[in-house]
Amino acid sequence: MASSDEGTSLGSKYQVFLSFRGPDTRVGFTDVLFHSLTDTGICVFRDDEEVRAGERIDGSLQRAIDNSRIYIPVFSRTYASSQWCLRELVQIVANTSISEGKKEILPIFFDVEPEDVKLKTPLYHDAILNLEREKKLSTEQVDAWRKALMEVDAIKGWEVKKYRGYVDVIKLIVEEVVKKLKIKHRSVTENLVGIDDRVMAVNELLDIDSGGVRLIGIYGMGGIGKTTLAKVVFNQLSFHFGKCCCFLENIQAKSSSPNGVIELQKKLLSEIGHPDIARSIDEIDYGTKKIEEVLKNKKVLIVLDDVANKKQVEELVGRSRLYPGSRILITTRNKDVFRISRPNYQILEYEMEVMSSDYALELFSRHAFNEDSPSDDYKELSREIVSATGRLPLAIEVIGSFLFDRRQEIWNETLDKLRKAPHKDVFGKLKISYDALTFEQQQIFLDIACFFIGEHMTNAIYMWKDCDFFPDTGLDVLISMSLVKIVENAFWMHDQLRDLGKEIVRQENPINPTERSRVWIDMEVLDAIRTKEVI
């Protein structure tokens, strides 16, 4: 039979209707399932707690069935011995059949087999015969019960006996319901490859089952897949928080627009259930204060995507204590963001690194061929292109999609362009990090890109100090923003970032290299020396 979360009226639109035999499963399985669903913010109808004084139970149940989107019949040993359960099932099947696919039935076989529900064993078959004789029911009514049972049994469901315990199967059921209802899920690009291990690592840091507060920071260069990873994690965990979750995207770009921070504050408050407070926000400090007041008293999941600095974190989640069980996930290019001042909380860091060669080739193949691997005649060329993209997911997706169904001559030409300069779209994405640097930091970045990859850092630092470029500070910033790494006291830079730096210099004068700030190609260096245009 069927209850809802507290305070929901009978006229409300329920999301899930539980049909079950009380004596069999009310205490135990159905109770755990009910609370697991309602804990995610799903409105569930269960049992007769919903009936108002003076209302006929049939009327209230009919409204609940009519208003629900998903039906979950829990088939147990005495389910078919209850006229009430069988009448519910007939109405469930009828509503589903006329819904044009908008309603679904998700059956659970608790302590029975699908064969029992098909009436192929004595269990349900004899139970219905007994009801027919004892209650002197019409053949028409009994046939309707049999037909409903047969129709529901044809739907794939969960056989509880096949799982180790209630927890495992209930978790799967809740996840399926969340997916069906599309509860606060972020859209994620198709053709995800090699992300499972990363998701697992971040989930381990978040440790959703622990009672404390966790702040996790994902950092890495632009285009490496931080936002995609955050979206997948958010989608997996959001049902634990019901309506109290929010994903704020593109914070760096949105914060720079007029009233951008205020709009982000309003969005956060609205999505975690406080639209009234959101409407009152007209100033950043006031918005931060109100957010702090809410977060102290509510368990939340919040993702802050593409954060540029510590101030943005403080403006959006404040500096006060968070409610136990809350999780904050931050993505950024700038590792310094994690050095925020919060009482009793430390941000646990996860560095996004480039994809493995095999995963990168698989991702490229899905976009370039709509297959998991390239055809034999394109295999080596594909590997070279993947290598030239730096194995960045964004670059792979853009280049692979561009090359889909194009002639091999275009592929060769694209490879040549990738080796000389980054693809246009990827260039724009990566240049965001470069543009955020100070003039001195940009010069250090360009010097490393053009001259110092693989070189020991000592001589370069002396040179930058003489130029008043403040290299200690500058290198800290470049490392924090994942633009440069130091490996055994030598500079290392991703190939695509190296190409970005060289392209920026080339654009200073595309025609005459001697008028650029840096010259690194041998013949161009000789030409510059001969014309005495280099000092």
* DSSP H or E stretch at residue 57: helix 57-67
Retrieve residue 534's tokens: 């280099």
Q: Are 14 and 64 in contact (CB under 8 A)?
A: yes
Q: Are 502 and 431 in contact (CB under 8 A)?
A: no
Closest CA to 83 of 140, 139, 21: 21
Q: How far is CA 509 from the centre of its chain?
A: 42
Rounded Cα distance between 65 and 13, Å, is 10
Query: What is the DSSP pairing of strand 158-159 with strand 44-45?
Result: unpaired
Q: Are 127 and 95 in contact (CB under 8 A)?
A: no
User: What is the sign, positive or negative, of the torsion defined by CA atoms of 166, 168, 169, 170?
Assistant: positive
User: What is the sign, positive or negative, of the torsion defined by CA atoms of 423, 424, 430, 431?
Assistant: positive
Q: What is the DSSP string of 416-475?
A: HHHHHS--HHHHHHHHHHHHTS-HHHHHHHHHIIIIIBTSBHHHHHHHHHHTT--HHHHH
Q: Are 352 and 219 in contact (CB under 8 A)?
A: yes
Given the residues 49, 50, 88, 455, select the one marked as catalytic.
Answer: 88
Q: How far is CA 427 from the centre of its chain?
A: 25
Closest CA to 391 of 157, 216, 161, 225: 225
- 10 Å Cβ neighbour count for 339? 9
Rounded Cα distance between 211 and 411, Å, is 53
DSSP-derived 3-state class of residue 302: strand
Rounded Cα distance between 242 and 238, Å, is 7
Supply the angle between the helices 457-466 and 439-447 in degrees, to the nearest 10: 150
- 10 Å Cβ neighbour count for 419? 14
DSSP-derived 3-state class of residue 44: strand
For this structure, is 351 an active site residue? no
- The region that residue 4 occupies, defined by phi over 0 for left and psi between -120 and 50 for alpha, beta otherwise, is beta
Closest CA to 306 of 235, 223, 208: 223
Rounded Cα distance between 250 and 180, Å, is 27
Closest CA to 485 of 504, 468, 498: 498
Rounded Cα distance between 242 and 123, Å, is 39
Q: Which residues are catalytic?
A: 88
